[in-house]
Amino acid sequence: MVFGRSSRRTPPVEPVTLKILVAGGFGVGKTTLVGAVSEIRPLRTEETLSEAGRPVDDTEGVEQKTTTTVAMDFGRITLREDLVLYLFGTPGQDRFWFLWDELAQGALGAVVLADTRRLEDCFGAIDYFERRAIPFAVAVNCFEGAGRFPAERVRAALDLDSEVPLLMCDARQRESAKEVLVAVVEHALARADRRREHATT
Amino acid sequence: MSDSAQYARRTHHFFDADAGPVVRPYAMTRGRTSSATRHRLDLIALVVPEDAADDPGRDQLLSPEHVEIVERCGDTPQSIAELAATLDLPVGVVRVLVGDLVEDALVHVTRPVPPAELPDVSILREVINGLRAL
Ligand SMILES: Nc1nc2c(ncn2[C@@H]2O[C@H](COP(=O)(O)OP(=O)(O)OP(=O)(O)O)[C@@H](O)[C@H]2O)c(=O)[nH]1
Ligand SMILES: [Mg+2]
* pTM for this prediction: 0.82
In a domain, B13, yes or no: no
Range of the domain at B115: 25-133
In a domain, B8, yes or no: no
In a domain, B53, yes or no: yes
> Which residues in chain B show pLDDT less than 50?
1-23, 35-37
| pLDDT, tens digit, 9 for 90 and up, residues B23-42 | 455 656 666 665 444 567 88
Residues of B in contact with A45 (CB under 8 A): 84, 90-92
Specify the residue with its C-alpha closest to ligand 1, atom 23. Answer: A27
Given CA atoms A92, A95, A96, A102 in this order, what sign does their dihedral have? positive
Q: DSSP code of B1? A: -
Give, in order, the Cα–Cα distances in Å from B79 to each of A9, A74, A201, B37.
Answer: 21, 12, 39, 21
pLDDT for residue A39: 84
Contact B124, A191 (CB under 8 A): no
Query: Angle formed by the axes of helices B91-103 and B80-87, to 10°?
Result: 120
CA distance A79 to chain B (A): 5
Q: DSSP code of B29? A: G
Quick check: A200 contacting B, CB < 8 Å?
Answer: no
**Would you tell me which CATH number, out of the four given (3.30.70.3150, 3.90.79.10, 3.40.50.300, 2.170.190.11), belongs to the domain A13-200?**
3.40.50.300
Quick check: A71 contacting B, CB < 8 Å?
Answer: no
pLDDT for residue A190: 93
Average pLDDT of chain A is 83
DSSP 3-state of A1:
coil
pLDDT for residue B86: 92
The domain segmentation of chain A, as residue ranges, is 13-200
pLDDT for residue A142: 87
Specify the residue with its C-alpha closest to ligand 1, atom 7. Answer: A29
Reply yes or no on whether the pLDDT at A73 is more than 70.
yes
Number of folded domains that form chain B: 1
Chain A residue with the nearest C-alpha to that of B120: A192
CA distance A123 to chain B (A): 24
Could you tell me if the ipTM is greater than 0.90? no
In a domain, B60, yes or no: yes
Closest ligand by atom to A42 CA:
2
